[in-house]
Chains A and B, each alone.
Chain A
Amino acid sequence: MSALLGLPIAQVQIQERAGDSCIATNGFCPDWIADNFDRYVDPFFEHVFLTVVSVGIGFAIAFSLALLAHRLRWTFGPISAVTQVLYTVPSLAAFFLLQPITGRGNLTAIVALVAYTLFILFANITTGLQNVSDDVKDSARGMGLTDRQLLWRVELPLALPEIFAGLRIATTTTIGLATLAFFAGGGGLGAVIEQQLFFKSNVVVAGGLAVALAAVFDLLILGIQRLSMPWRRVQLAT
């Protein structure tokens, strides 16, 4: 009920600014969108920034942890458990809880977002490494590849499908979670949504941009994946 009561006030404000009946009825207003589109540009790039930096840092950490777990098997359980716990912390809570330590702003947002990517990326990278066939590893060792050569020349290339799958899930998830980053003062498209939470056109544009961003990133990673695995293309073709 309180939302309904609040509605007329919001409408009046918007009407004053744009003087349009579409806005008055809280519809989907192309004219308004065209006039106001520049207000989304900065939040959009903030969103891109948050995503790229978080996934990038998350990947670097998860990759290192995965190599550690691959080399020292006993570390797999503990690392897995910690990343899983981080993953289950409600995101809103994380954005608030971190503030006393890291303050308001990008840093807090990124720390929280990175924490969420770890579990997905770590699980996928280690699964990829584990899926490499024993025959291939045996023949590689038998030909005199050292452990390091085995890892970089055989195991990691063969783990790429799982690694890329992890990256795609992590990226899409991060784009979604980053719409809440404004709670930590991190900006992004969530901030614009919150500014006029009940104005349809605004929510549609900001939300649509987030979805489009996720789709573009997903296609981009998929493209890189195809390019980096020519042997897979051949398999699909035959």
Chain B
Amino acid sequence: MGQAETAVDLEFRNVTKRYPGQQEAAIDDLSLKVEAGEICVLVGPSGCGKTTAMRLVNRMIEPTDGEILIDGASVGERSRSDLRRHIGYAIQQVGLFPHITVAENIATVPRLLGWERERIEDRVEELLELVSLDPKDTRDRYPSQLSGGQRQRVGVARALAADPPLLLMDEPFGAIDPINRERLQNEFLRLQQQLKKTIVFVTHDIDEAIKIGDRIAVLKKGGELAQYASPAELLTYPADKFVEDFVGADRALKRLSLQRVRDIDLWKTAQVRVGESTAEARKKLDDADLPLPMLVDERGRPLGWLSERSLSGERVESDLRSPAEPVVELDDILRDALSDLLSHATQYAPVVDQAGAVAGVLSLEVIGRFLTTADPENSPTGVDLVADELDREPDAER
């Protein structure tokens, strides 16, 4: 059960779509490749042809010129219904069939493909669990009995039903409120981590694109490809003024959400314990990037910043200048860590590892240096971020 078909790669080769009677092309000579197992986000302002581009893949729209290849074979050579049954399809309005149950909705494509009843039932169960819905509770409900978020999940489950190697998603989280939207995005990325499908994802929201995409294709009006790059690359080196404007004036800050604290060079700090000789503590201070000693407990956990006076005797005394606040974790997203620093009106904060021991100091200066020097080539994507979260806490958040 499950991964029957592996992911495929997808290529647009000089694709043009021109609607009769319209001056401007909807898609203009679009060429791009999506590697197997990657999420390609098509993003751009309304009227840029992103949805059109997606709908060309399963022949909901036929190109005027050029061709689209799945694993090297042109989609034009397959019958429409056969092609579509092997490509997952999820749209913003979901389009669940209101007259049949959730289970029957999900079973749509497997039924068209002539699966046996038992296999379909097992698959429905599996999929409902996959999208975090309780099979017992939901399978016999009608779509009108579900919340918006639940409907969206059923929509995704339905698109995945026959385990297609390629998925088309048109603003699948567009109609969801911001909180549930974020949850669904995270769940979706976790799902993709397991499934490794090739996905074409359409959105008008650049933040969603940065979060979701392995590669982002920015389209401008008239269906012209402005840039096709990884999220970090897009944010660091926008190809032109249009892309720069589209990703927003805060693009440097956006890069912070693609990085964890552990990924950047932290300051070394002088960690001292009560009762330690002052001479040794002073030696540690000389090696540190910050002229302030940090008092730690016997397990290396931060207690606070020490005052000058505490080093005046022969032995280190516990005389705190200020508490160690905030404490940042190595696994925190850089953007959240920065926000922590700012909200505590402080320049620096100790960073702790999973055991709670001090691993270094994060400062505004360190973050600044990262923003000016980081190499976008080695920057992780939203998928990576969710992936290592998954490794760390296998049963995290339901």
Contacts and interface: CB of A to CB of B under 8 A. Distances in A.
A139 B89 contact: yes
B108 A158 contact: no
Contact of B142 (A137, A143, A231): A231
A136 interface: yes
A135 B144 contact: no
B95 A138 contact: yes
Given A138-B91, A234-B142, A144 B99 contact: no
B81 interface: yes
A229 B95 CA distance: 19
A139 B95 contact: yes
A229 B99 CA distance: 7
A137 B158 CA distance: 15
Contacts of A88: none
A139 B108 CA distance: 11
Interface in A76-119: none
Contact of B99 (A135, A138, A157): A157
Contacts of B93: 133, 135
A140 interface: yes
A46 B197 CA distance: 66
Contacts of B100: 231
B60 A141 contact: yes
A149 interface: yes
A163 to B, nearest CB: 13
Which of A144, A157, A235 has the largest count of B CB atoms less than 10 A from its CB?
A144
B95 A140 contact: yes
Given A138-B91, A149-B112, A144 B142 contact: no
Interface in B80-112: 80-85, 89, 91, 93-100, 108-109, 112
Given A149-B112, A235-B144, A238-B144, A141 B98 contact: no
Contacts of A138: 60, 91, 95
B97 A145 contact: no
Contacts of A141: 60, 84
Which of B95, B98, B112 has the largest count of A CB atoms less than 10 A from its CB?
B95
Nearest to A160: B99
Contacts of B144: 231, 234-235, 238
A154 interface: yes
Interface of A: 133, 135-146, 149, 154, 157-158, 229-231, 234-235, 238
20 contacts: A133-B95, A135-B94, A136-B96, A138-B91, A138-B95, A139-B89, A139-B91, A139-B96, A140-B108, A142-B84, A143-B108, A143-B112, A144-B84, A144-B109, A146-B81, A157-B99, A231-B99, A231-B100, A231-B144, A235-B142
Given A141-B60, A154-B99, 9 more contacts: A135-B94, A136-B98, A138-B91, A139-B89, A142-B95, A143-B112, A144-B109, A231-B99, A234-B142
